[in-house]
Amino acid sequence: MAWPEKVSPEEEKVIEELKRRTECDLPPKLLEDESLFYRFCKARDFNLAEAEAMLRKVRIF
């Protein structure tokens, strides 16, 4: 995936883990949007727990 800016391998792991943790809770169309997970992770400085909490709170449907 080509991210909007360069991400480290650790940041990419956080993005992929966020996607894995929320894949059952999001519609398939949102799962295809890799930038969604990047944006939530970046907003929380790649803190997985905070990014996941924020994504679940927003519940974009």
34 found inside a domain: yes
42 found inside a domain: yes
Long-range contacts of 39-45 (CB under 8 A, 24+ apart): 41/11, 41/14, 41/15
48 found inside a domain: yes
Q: Are 20 and 51 in contact (CB under 8 A)?
A: no
1 found inside a domain: no
Domain span including residue 20: 9-58
Q: How many domains does the chain have?
A: 1
3 found inside a domain: no
12-48 residue pLDDT tens:
999 999 999 999 988 888 888 889 999 999 999 999 9
pTM, two decimal places:
0.84
> Closest by alpha carbon to 12, among 43, 37, 29, 49?
37
Residue 60 is predicted with a pLDDT of 56
Residue 25 is predicted with a pLDDT of 87
